[in-house]
Amino acid sequence: MALSVQRPKGTNDMIPSEANKWRTVEQAARDCAERFGFREIRTPAFEETGLFVRSVGDTSDVVTKEMYTVSSKGEHTFTLKPEGTAGVVRAMLENGLMNEGFPQKVYYITPCFRHEKPQAGRLREFHQFGVEMFGTSSPYADADVIMLAREVLSTCGIESVKLNINSIGCPECRKKYQEALVEYFSARKDDLCETCLERLGKNPMRLLDCKVPKCAEIAKDAPVILDYLCDDCREHFEKLKAILDEYKVEYTVNPKIVRGLDYYTKTVFEFVYDGIGAQGTVCGGGRYDGLVSSLGGQPTAALGFGMGLERLIMTMEGEGVDFLDPHVPDIYFAPMGEKAYSVASKLCQDLRAEGYSAEFDIVGRGLKPQMRYANKIGAKFCCVLGDNEIESGQAKLKNMRTGDETPVNLDDFKNGFVPVLLDDMFELEGISE
Ligand code: ATP
Ligand code: MG
């Protein structure tokens, strides 16, 4: 029968057989973030539309083309979050966290929604691991955030991503630069796409990010921001590079990266993987010193990054690195007959209370299909409970990897002997919990 409803275009189901991939990247992200001193924050999946228009920028692709906006009973319009930073800044301000001393360091794992043309690595619902740091303009903070992203990637077994960095200056140095850009692109107006013509009047730096081939070709020879940096921005960038050099972090200065969102200042960076084509940017971030005050807070230096988890998983697959082992039960009981069922059920409850994962046949099938099922779910041990076993109180514990059988006394499950036996056997077999 054909399914009458299918998942929306550009979305994915995360099915149990893929769960270990998600656990791998999420665990790496959490562990690294916490080691670097970031604490978790969770914000709503939707916000008032104005928040994104003000923060992401009304000339960005995200705001002009990609937002999922709904109106709610004619009161407000709300938008599903297309990125994580705006909601975090709003939440930090609303909960008074910016008054609790600096730096404030938070991380999140969140779905994001953008109306894009779906392709591999470009989805309409995707997931980001992101971090934000508030209250420091030190280049050491920039380096720390970059090194955190790198740590997550290397914890996931990825060494072959390239780090590109750039500085896009502050509003002060950008003024002169934007004049130079307008002059450059205006002389080539006839070859620009319509969106770029519009951007030219509003936000000329956007033209550097255009993905239309003809525009990208023209942008190649455009003036570069690094030639226009003010002393403060130049010094910041030089110091950041010196710190990265000191820690032997390899990077390329790429004066063409400007990032997709409007709110960046000074440092911008991305980690790019060549193996997944046009969607190779696994992580993008930078400094956004002007954002907090533009959302009504005190002027507050800030920085962060967003890492696309689908792209991270694709990169890991591309590199052939291992994911965490899928979860498998420690023990599976195969009961035959009514009495054995109640014993198996009780043994499972006891073992679960002790912290083991235990299962028993719950659909009432024969012994053979039960053993097939135990194999399929990858149970480490199996214990058949028939009439004989129940009467004698003696059963056999089968190691499903080696086929070895060890006699056990059923009461020993309760008095802790079998759990200890299981532990010993896990250790002997090198089976990890
Ligand atoms: P791109 O240039 O690929 O469109 P972006 O500049 O729009 O990326 P950011 O807004 O910086 O991306 O988001 C941070 C990260 O989130 C990206 O580096 C990427 O890994 C991921 N990402 C962004 N958009 C998508 C999407 N539509 N599907 C999957 N991952 C995405
Ligand atoms: Mg984009």
Q: What is the tens place of the pLDDT at every residue in 127-136?
A: 999 999 999 9
Give the CA dihedral 49, 52, 57, 60, nearest 10 degrees.
Answer: -90
For 162, the token pair is 């390239």
Phi, psi of 82, rounded to the nearest 5 degrees: -85, -15
How many angstroms from the chain centroid is the CA of residue 172?
A: 34
User: What pLDDT is stored for residue 263 in this prediction?
Assistant: 80
For 295, the token pair is 């959302």
Q: Is the CB of 209 under 6 A from ligand 1?
A: no
| Location of structure tokens 């002007």 | 290
User: What pLDDT is stored for residue 433 in this prediction?
Assistant: 46
Label each residue of 274-338 as H, E or C. HHHHHHCEEEEEEECCCHHHHCCCCCCCEEEEEEEHHHHHHHHHHHCCCCCCCCCCCEEEEECCH
Q: Which atom of ligand 1 is nearest to the CA of 123?
A: 28
Q: Is the CB of 311 under 6 A from ligand 1?
A: yes
Residue of 62, 88, 126, 206 best suited for mutating to test ligand 1, as the one with most atoms within 8 Å of CB: 126
Q: What is the pTM of this model?
A: 0.92
How many angstroms from the chain centroid is the CA of residue 426?
A: 32
User: What pLDDT is stored for residue 257 in this prediction?
Assistant: 87
User: What pLDDT is stored for residue 221 in this prediction?
Assistant: 93
Query: What's the 366 CA to ligand 2 centre distance in angstroms?
Result: 54
**First-residue to last-residue Cα distance in the chain:** 40
Q: Is the CB of 210 under 6 A from ligand 1?
A: no
User: What pLDDT is stored for residue 3 in this prediction?
Assistant: 80
Pairing of strands 381-385, 331-335: parallel
Query: What's the 289 CA to ligand 1 centre distance in angstroms?
Result: 21
The span from the CA of 87 to the CA of 68, in Å, is 15
CB 356 within 8 A of CB 419: yes
Give the CA dihedral 51, 104, 112, 254, nearest 10 degrees.
Answer: 100
Residue of 254, 281, 316 best suited for mutating to test ligand 1, as the one with most atoms within 8 Å of CB: 281
User: What pLDDT is stored for residue 431 in this prediction?
Assistant: 58
Q: Is the CB of 279 under 6 A from ligand 1?
A: yes
Neighbouring residues of 175: CB distance < 8 A, sequence distance ≥ 6:
none
How many angstroms from the chain centroid is the CA of residue 305?
A: 11
- Tens digits of pLDDT across the chain (433 residues): 678 899 999 999 999 999 999 999 999 999 999 999 999 999 999 999 999 999 988 878 899 899 999 987 877 899 999 999 999 999 999 999 999 999 999 999 999 999 999 999 999 999 999 999 999 999 999 999 999 999 999 999 999 999 999 999 998 888 899 999 999 999 999 999 998 998 898 889 888 888 889 999 999 999 999 999 999 999 999 999 999 999 999 999 998 888 767 788 999 999 999 877 778 999 999 999 999 999 999 999 999 999 999 999 999 999 999 999 998 999 999 999 999 999 999 999 999 998 999 999 999 999 999 999 999 999 999 999 999 999 999 999 999 988 999 999 998 887 777 777 777 777 766 655 4
Closest CA to 262 of 43, 42, 57, 30: 57
